[in-house]
A and B are shown apart, each in its own frame.
Chain A
């Protein structure tokens, strides 16, 4: 067959409609997961790599899945349950498939369309979907989960977990875990492991979890947010002309069914955790997670991601920014979060309540000083982002500098400098004002 050199007008129209469908009907879908379909696909995937059907644990959120995985891991120390299959499934059912499809796609498409593929198909179906789904939605969720589970001590996490899941977790440990694990796992676990599990699950469970460090389990299978690569390979075969073998097409279709039905998936030897989709996804006009009066992403169990224009922040920054304390804003260690706090609190109010005085102003920014009783003064430089936002406004950041504007070097502090905003910015890069004249600044 002759190679395809150009998309027809009709195919162009299909591409736009297909992109919108993948984004809205699959990637941004917030309906309850179709667990039956997902179980069917995963059972098939396990069979394809020579594994028997796992027990399925259905979770309201990836957070719940992470808690359950931690729980089971701690109870079943030494059990054979914990062979992660994500890597294997991905290797055999995803990487291989993608490699084969890529070659076939290349064989079928002539030079011109390959350029278009490097252009339009790739831009829209791969880059845009990947950025919006996997980067922004999945990535933010993963980063938050990973940060919470890795960095916070068990005790703090337990408090949060109790707040977020409330009695539900206790209820589910008695309810869902008992029903699902008890019945489904009984056959899969040896008698000894089973007794261990039964002994340890119970009223004291909370006590056992408290003070324990949690692990973060990597996410290999992203469900609805895997749609970007599936779309990229599915579109040409369906709308340009058939180019794959039937077995390849069937496997790709299985992946698509999975994307259409659930959120994150954590497959292990003998057990597979399937996560529901979020109930809420709110984004701004630049497709960043954003909601200024509620969670930007929320799950059925209450687990949520709070975000202002793509910056993850604590819930109170979204709900009650006017109640933030000036001290808590000043103590926030993340400059991006602090910027959002100040914006929402009110920049003028922040400076006046902080009692800051303007020391100097130049093209670089403004230098503020706040005297503190029995402490060294707090000197902050207010700077504007060099790149304005698409809507024309420019983000403002406050960075604390040394009171004498000594350059902040890896090894310590440099020499004092005259109090100018330019010198202050230079000092944050470990430089003196006269050394700091960037050729390009964005």
Chain B
């Protein structure tokens, strides 16, 4: 399966979205990872003509893209075009002896 990576976010194309994933209803854009200290987010803008459905399960975001390429943008990284299909996305992790935590920026 193919991976795409933008900074601390990784996206993998998958055949189907888990049936028990919870549907999200984002406004304006789907944020895959929020920048806590920079105000810069890894986000996909919701545009006319492209249907994007977002789901969440176990800390991962799932995307169903239809009708055209969705564009993942971030102020400090190159854009990534995601062709129609299903995707699973998660955030880079970091190890500490106490816990495994998401990389935060």
Contact = CB atoms under 8 A, between A and B. Distances in A.
Nearest to A398: B94
Contacts, number: 99
Interface size class of B (residues with CB under 8 A): 20 to 34
A140 interface: yes
Interface of B: 2-8, 10, 35-40, 58-60, 76-80, 90, 92-97, 100-101, 103-105
Which of the listed residues A135, A389, A400 has the most CB atoms from chain B within 10 Å of its own CB? A400
A147 B34 CA distance: 14
Contacts of B38: 310-312, 336
Contacts of B105: 334-336
Contacts of B4: 438-441
Nearest to A141: B39
Contacts of B92: 399, 428-429
A367 B105 CA distance: 21
A136 B10 CA distance: 25
Interface string A386-420: 11010000000001111000001110110000000
Contacts of B77: 385-387, 442
A333 B101 contact: yes
Residue from the set B5, B35, B58, B80 with the largest chain A CB neighbour count within 10 Å: B5
In the complex, which of the residues B4, B35, B94 has the most CB atoms of chain A within 10 Å of its own CB atom?
A: B94
A336 B93 contact: no
A421 to B, nearest CB: 15
A333 B5 CA distance: 22
Most A Cβ at <10 Å: residue of B7, B37, B78, B103: B37
Contacts of B7: 385-386, 442
Contact of B94 (A387, A389, A408, A440): A408
Contacts of A439: 2-4
A106 interface: no
Contact of B103 (A385, A399, A413): A399
Nearest to A334: B104
Given A335-B8, A429-B10, A440-B5, A313 B39 contact: no
A334 B93 contact: no
Contacts of B10: 429, 438
A175 B97 CA distance: 51
Max chain A CB contacts within 10 Å: which of B3, B38, B92?
Answer: B38
Contacts of A412: 100
Given A311-B37, A336-B37, A430-B93, A436 B104 contact: no
